[in-house]
């Protein structure tokens, strides 16, 4: 369930609009503050998601609420996740945003986007995938819930190859088998080396794979 806390930000000097301030202070320790994951939203978006907590945007030119900070508590506190997972998730929105921005610039037009994340921990992979899909939707892209799947024989071959070879070959097979058409693109987000925390990404379009980072 998204969002336990909402901070409404108002132009100075209207300080009374703060419903709950997630920063460390009298009512919240530094440790508690560090275990919040927050996202800044426009007031219009915040009202749409949380109509009971955030009022409608005021009339243009009014001296009132301008935006909101939506926060949710982590399921795991800092230090409880494996170090690699923590490093990836701590800056996930920014990392994924950079990837989707680059991908969107390369492929414009009326395309259907398919997204998948390849990460050793399934729960983290799901977070990466959802973050990428959400960011693409916010950029106005049409995003499918379907993940392209190859035949078992293809998967058996790809499993034995290093990532630098496996992803381009999988892209070729997607197109050759009609899993993806000319109106589809596939964005894959992954770590290439199990020891690293850097997210890499590639884009598959018309049977050609391009590494984004």
The answer to whether 8 touches 17, Cβ cutoff 8 Å, is yes
Q: Where are the domains of the chain?
A: 5-73, 83-211
63-120, pLDDT tens digit by residue? 554 667 677 665 555 456 677 888 888 888 889 999 999 999 998 888 999 999 998 8
- What mean pLDDT comes out for the span 2-17? 41
The answer to whether 50 touches 70, Cβ cutoff 8 Å, is yes
**What is the DSSP annotation of 14-36?**
-GGG-S---SSBTTB-HHHHHTE
The answer to whether 209 touches 176, Cβ cutoff 8 Å, is no
At 11 the pLDDT is: 43
Q: How confident is the model at residue 54 (pLDDT cuts 50, 70, 90)?
A: confident
The answer to whether 38 touches 69, Cβ cutoff 8 Å, is yes
Alpha-carbon separation of residue 38 from 50, 54, 80, 137, 195 (angstroms): 15, 16, 19, 19, 28
Cα-flanking dihedrals φ and ψ of residue 192, to 5°? -85, -40
- DSSP H helices, the chain, are 30-34, 43-49, 83-90, 92-106, 122-138, 152-159, 163-176
Please report, rounded to a whole number, the percentage of residues in the chain having pLDDT higher than 90: 32
At 67 the pLDDT is: 66
155-192, pLDDT tens digit by residue? 888 888 888 899 999 999 999 999 999 999 999 999 88
Please state, in angstroms and rounded to a whole number, the distance separating the CA atoms of residues 195 and 173.
28
Please state, in angstroms and rounded to a whole number, the distance separating the CA atoms of residues 192 and 197.
9
Please state, in angstroms and rounded to a whole number, the distance separating the CA atoms of residues 125 and 117.
5
Record: fold of 83-211? Peroxisomal Thiolase; Chain A, domain 1 (3.40.47)
Average pLDDT of the chain to the nearest whole number: 77
- What size, in residues, is the chain? 213
Q: How confident is the model at residue 20 (pLDDT cuts 50, 70, 90)?
A: very low
């Amino acid at each position: 369930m998204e969002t336990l806390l909402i901070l409404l930000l108002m132009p100075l000097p209207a300080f009374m609009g703060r419903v709950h301030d997630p920063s460390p202070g009298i009512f919240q320790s530094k440790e508690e503050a560090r275990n919040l994951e927050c996202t800044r939203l426009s007031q219009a978006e915040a009202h749409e998601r949380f109509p009971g907590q955030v009022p409608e945007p005021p009339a243009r030119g009014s001296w009132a609420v301008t935006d909101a900070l939506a926060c949710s508590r982590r399921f795991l506190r800092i230090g409880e996740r494996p170090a690699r997972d923590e490093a990836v998730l701590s800056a996930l929105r920014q990392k994924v945003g950079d990837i989707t921005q680059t991908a969107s610039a390369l492929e414009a037009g009326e395309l259907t986007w398919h997204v998948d994340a390849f990460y050793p921990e399934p729960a983290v992979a799901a977070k990466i995938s959802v973050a990428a899909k959400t960011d693409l939707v916010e950029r106005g892209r049409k995003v499918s819930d379907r993940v392209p799947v190859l035949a078992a024989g293809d998967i058996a071959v790809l499993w034995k190859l290093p990532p630098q070879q496996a992803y381009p070959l999988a892209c070729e097979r997607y197109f050759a088998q009609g899993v993806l058409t000319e109106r589809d693109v596939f964005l894959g987000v992954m770590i290439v080396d199990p020891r690293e925390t850097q997210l890499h990404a590639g884009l598959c379009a018309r049977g050609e794979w391009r590494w984004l980072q």
